[in-house]
Amino acid sequence: NAGVTQTPKFRVLKTGQSMTLLCAQDMNHEYMYWYRQDPGMGLRLIHYSVGEGTTAKGEVPDGYNVSRLKKQNFLLGLESAAPSQTSVYFCASGRGTQLYGYTFGSGTRLTVV
Amino acid sequence: DAKTTQPPSMDCAEGRAANLPCNHSTISGNEYVYWYRQIHSQGPQYIIHGLKNNETNEMASLIITEDRKSSTLILPHATLRDTAVYYCIVRVASGGGADGLTFGKGTHLIIQP
């Protein structure tokens, strides 16, 4: 009963490098989300998906791409990392209605130098 | 989404009830009140939600005023492990709620030994 698993947990990138963050959920949830959280701030939505093969932009999508090829996985890509993307990234999943709340992963701490 | 207002920080003695207020004076009839918390460096955790009736679960109680313009989250016997940032979020429960939760800065609750 893993819930939402994020990999990796920590990563240091050089400016201009690319990487992919993986989010996997085993709860058969339809909805999945990627958030970022900067020091002293609340979470901001980057991209989300309401089902396999669908994605949509959130509040701060620039510099990121996402894919949902399988229902259980939601990938967040950084094509050319910038220091402004240094943040903690959280993935969440949920059922088709908010009545059950979202389940969050434990986060990926990314530093871009 | 209706905007919410929370105090930035609160203290509570261990073993006492912690009462966290939230104002949401522009809430619509179909919007629920959700509470999440985030313990340092972890992903947010769903606590409870309600529409207009008071709700209780194993974690907390939610008291919503009759006019629904404000609510209070109650942790009946606070422990040191309850030290966290608590977020009050107002959101429709289905359909339009697919595009994620909007997190403000929340209330930093500090439980004092």
Task: Tell if the CB–CB gap between B43 and A97 is shorter than 8 Å.
Answer: no
Closest to B98 (Cβ–Cβ): which among A50, A99, A107?
Answer: A50
- For residue A93 the two structure tokens come to 């999943």
pLDDT in tens, B61-103: 999 999 999 999 999 999 999 999 999 999 876 655 566 788 8
What stretch of H or E contains B106?
none
Backbone angles phi and psi of A98, in degrees to 5? -70, -10
At A10 the pLDDT is 96
Amino acid identity of residue B76, one-letter, is P
pLDDT in tens, A37-64: 998 778 999 999 999 999 999 999 999 9
pLDDT in tens, A7-24: 999 999 999 999 999 999
CA distance B28 to A43: 23
- Smallest CA–CA distance, residue A60 to chain B, in Å, is 12
Residue B104, chain A, CB below 8 Å: the answer is yes
Q: Cβ contacts of residue B50 below 8 Å, gap of 6+?
A: B32, B33, B62, B64, B71
Q: pLDDT tens across B21-51, in order?
A: 999 999 998 889 999 999 988 999 999 999 9
Name the percent of chain A in helix, strand, coil, to the closest 5.
5, 50, 45
pLDDT at B78: 96
Residue in B closest to A4 by C-alpha: B43
